[in-house]
Chains A and B, each alone.
Chain A
């Protein structure tokens, strides 16, 4: 017994020590670690909540062997943090958990291609809209022709991301049966294996899948949306007027300077690499 115990204890100590030396276990090392040795005043930290499975809005990319969260939403977040003179920290979590994280102070603001709906407005405050995206219907290539309008989805199995704006659109289709899942890749699998007949996704996202997976096409369907329904805005905790104003002024600057379009193009280029 003793002979077994000693090596086990040693192993245990080594693991504990290495574990303690490794702080950065969450957020996938999305940010450079705070430069503690470079001295200077303590920098303010602002925490961004996002669900990084939504290319080109936000997604993971290996940059110089380091897992990094990138995308045009992230570029906007960086600009906001820079204007506030704060350091940006990114928390990546499930989409459904985002608004909850906001109201429980886990994060300061959420940028995740969020559409400001009336229901969400009850729980969080939104900034101005920074980007309008079109919705698209993604289907298997052999069914591309048969779907020409949303009404054609009646009686079909339709996949959408849980708690997303697309879920609301799909719910309005008469007779459509819904499959709501947390992550987009799972929806793609459902489509490829024939368990759902169509997915409703934002167009830039759908187009990336068409480019990267064989046998998928974007159906020729135009989805009508009210102006205020298709846009993405940034969410902050209810009642934090100061932060909303601050972010709005940054957004205004980015919009007039044409920076947001540039971010979108760059994010799409990053995906193609």
Chain B
């Protein structure tokens, strides 16, 4: 099999554009996923059982079904109830829901890992339950959660390749388009892999840097 990368001279702009789309998708997926994840996590540790039940059910449902199925259901299935999202919106919604479920578990674990004494101390100082969470627990929990959050970021970036299925022009979509024009099956995929690696490796390094900035000297 001959590996020929000459298509890059003609298609490199497509790759750059699609890398940007991948970044956009994962950015929104991670951003909204984190926000939603925090909310779900807080509901999950709520002491009111119906709230707790709904949050747990949501997490289990999302974690228990494949992302590809979720994407297809959101893109095609929602039209049954009259919601017709564009491919990009469907992609963002699917990535958001998926990452929120995993993030929720990361947050829950992070929050529950903070020593009970911290809560007790801040409550004794007269802080309310909400204030305790906001000023004492979450900042400490966040620092501990950082590696897990970073991991989730990277997973979302890679999983965003699945949305090529519904026709969003991200990296894999472009690789397949190039396969189709050049009649070269392998080389366009290798370029895609390289792009993903550059993105995730850069992000991993940024996160390590951030982790170091936030770490306390012990």
Could you tell me which A residues sit within 8 Å of B by CB distance? Answer: 1, 4, 12, 15, 19, 22, 25-29, 52-55, 59-62, 65-67, 91-94, 97, 100-101, 104-106, 183-186, 188-189, 192-193, 208-209, 211-215, 271
Chain B residues with CB under 8 A of A22: 20, 24
B84 at the interface (CB under 8 A from A): yes
Option from A26, A183, A184, A185 in Cβ contact (under 8 Å) with B87: A26
For residue B58, CB closer than 8 A to chain A, the reply is no
User: Which chain B residues border A101 with CB–CB below 8 Å?
Assistant: 76
Q: Is the CB of B180 within 8 A of A54?
A: yes
Q: Which residues of A contact B186 (CB under 8 A)?
A: 189
Q: Can you name 14 A-B pairs with beta carbons within 8 Å?
A: A22-B20, A27-B167, A28-B174, A52-B177, A59-B180, A62-B13, A62-B14, A67-B174, A97-B72, A106-B79, A183-B179, A186-B185, A212-B184, A271-B181
Does B180 contact A4, Cβ atoms closer than 8 Å?
no
Alpha-carbon separation in the docked complex, A25 to B181 (Å): 20
CB of B61 closer than 8 Å to a CB of A: no
Task: Determine if A28 and B79 form an interchain contact, defined as CB atoms under 8 angstroms apart.
Answer: no
Measured between alpha carbons, how far is A68 from B165 in the docked complex, in Å? 18
B9 and chain A: residue at smallest CB distance: A62
* Interface size counted on chain B using CB atoms at 8 A: 45
Q: Which of B1, B14, B173 contacts A192 (CB 8 A)?
A: B1
Q: Is the CB of A59 within 8 A of B181?
A: yes
**Could you tell me the distance in whole angstroms from the C-beta of A34 to the nearest C-beta in chain B?**
15
> Do residues A61 and B181 form an inter-chain contact, with CB atoms below 8 A?
yes
Complex-state Cα separation, A29 to B88, whole angstroms: 13
**Chain B residue with Cβ nearest A91:** B167
A54 to B179, CA, bound (A): 10
A contacts with B: majority SS: mixed
Provide the B16-29 mask, 1 if CB < 8 A to any CB of A, else 0.
01001100100110
Q: How far is the CA of A186 from the CA of B176 in the complex (A)?
A: 9
* Residues B185 and A185 in contact, CB atoms below 8 Å apart: yes
Cβ of B112 under 8 Å from chain A: no
**Which residues on the B side are within 8 Å of A26 (C-beta)?**
86-88, 167-169
Q: Give 17 new A-B contacts, CB below 8 A, not counting A27-B169, A91-B87, A92-B167.
A: A1-B214, A22-B20, A28-B174, A52-B180, A60-B178, A60-B180, A62-B13, A62-B181, A92-B177, A97-B76, A106-B75, A106-B84, A185-B179, A185-B180, A211-B183, A213-B1, A213-B183
Q: How far is the CA of A118 from the CA of B38 in the complex (A)?
A: 51
| C-alpha spacing A208/B181, complex, angstroms | 10
**Docked complex: B62-100 residues within 8 A CB-CB of A:** 72, 75-76, 79-80, 84, 86-88
Contacts of B79 in A (CB 8 A): 104-106
Question: In the assembled complex, how far is the CB of residue B64 from the closest CB belonging to chain A, in whole angstroms?
Answer: 23
Within 8 Å of chain A (Cβ to Cβ): is B151?
no
Q: Are B183 and A212 in contact (CB under 8 A)?
A: yes
